[in-house]
Amino acid sequence: METTQYCRQVLDEINNVFQQVDNNQCEALAQTLRSTPRIFLTGMGRGSLSIKAFAMRLMHLGFEVFVVGETNTPRLHSGDLLLMASCSGETGTSVHLARKARQAGATMALITASPHSTLAGMTDMMVYLPAKNIGENKPVTTRQPMSSLFEQSLLLFGDALVLQLMETCSVSEADMFARHTNLE
C-alpha cells in the first residue's frame, strides 16, 4: 500500500473517534478552562507531546498555564485545574499526581481512552476519546500500533478546543500572535 493510502486510513480512524465523542464532556471541559485561574497540564510519553502543544495554544489564548514537571511550574493550589492526558488512565506517575492534586484541593480533568480507569474514577470531569490503548483488546479498529490513535486524536482535540475557545473568549489570531515568542 502507498503512503497516501495509509494517511487516508489514519484520517478515517481519527474521524471515527470524533464521531463518538460526547459533546457535553467537551463543553464541560471548555467551561472549566474558561473559569479556572490557573491550568496545569500533564501527560506521559507521546501523549505529553500532544498536551504540551495544547498548553502552548492555551498560553497564546491568554490563559495562565503550566506544564507539570517543567522548572517554572509553581505550586498547585485549591481552585487550580490539573488537566491530565492518559490513554490508559493507569499511568503510575499520573495517578500519583492526581492524588497530590486532590490533596491540594485542585479540580481535576482527564482526557482518556479508558473511561473506567483509576484516573477516571479520581477526576471531576473526563473527555473520553474512544481509541485503542496499548495491549488492550477493545472493539476499536485501528491499524496503528500501540496508542497512536489516542495521541493523534488528543492533538486534534486540543486544536479543536482552541478554535472553540477563540470564539467564546473573543480572541483573534492576531491576539494570539502577540503572545507568541519573539526569542527565535
Query: What pLDDT is stored for residue 145 in this prediction?
Result: 78
**Helices 148-168 and 46-61 sit at what angle, rounded to 10 degrees?**
10
User: Three-state DSSP class for 24?
Assistant: helix
For residue 8, what pLDDT is reported?
95
Pseudo-torsion of CA 125, 31, 92, 97, nearest 10°? -120
Query: Can you read off the three cell numbers belonging to residue 10?
Result: 489514519
The confidence score (pLDDT) of residue 138 equals 59
Strands (E) located in 48-119:
65-67, 81-86, 107-112
Q: What's the pLDDT at 175? A: 96
| Per-residue confidence (pLDDT) for residue 139, from 0 to 100 | 59
- Placement of cell 502507498 in the chain: 2
pLDDT, residue 112, reads: 96
Which H or E run includes 149? helix 148-168
Question: Per the residue annotation, which of 13, 151, 173, 184 is the catalytic one?
Answer: 151
| pLDDT tens readout for residues 26-45 | 999 999 999 999 999 999 99
What is the reported pTM?
Answer: 0.94
Residues of the chain with pLDDT under 50: none
- For residue 151, indicate whether it is catalytic: yes
Alpha carbon distance 11, 8 (integer Å): 5
Reported as a single tens digit per residue, the pLDDT across 100-122 is 999 999 999 999 999 999 999 99
Q: What is the pLDDT of residue 140?
A: 62
Domains of the chain: 3-171 (3.40.50.10490)
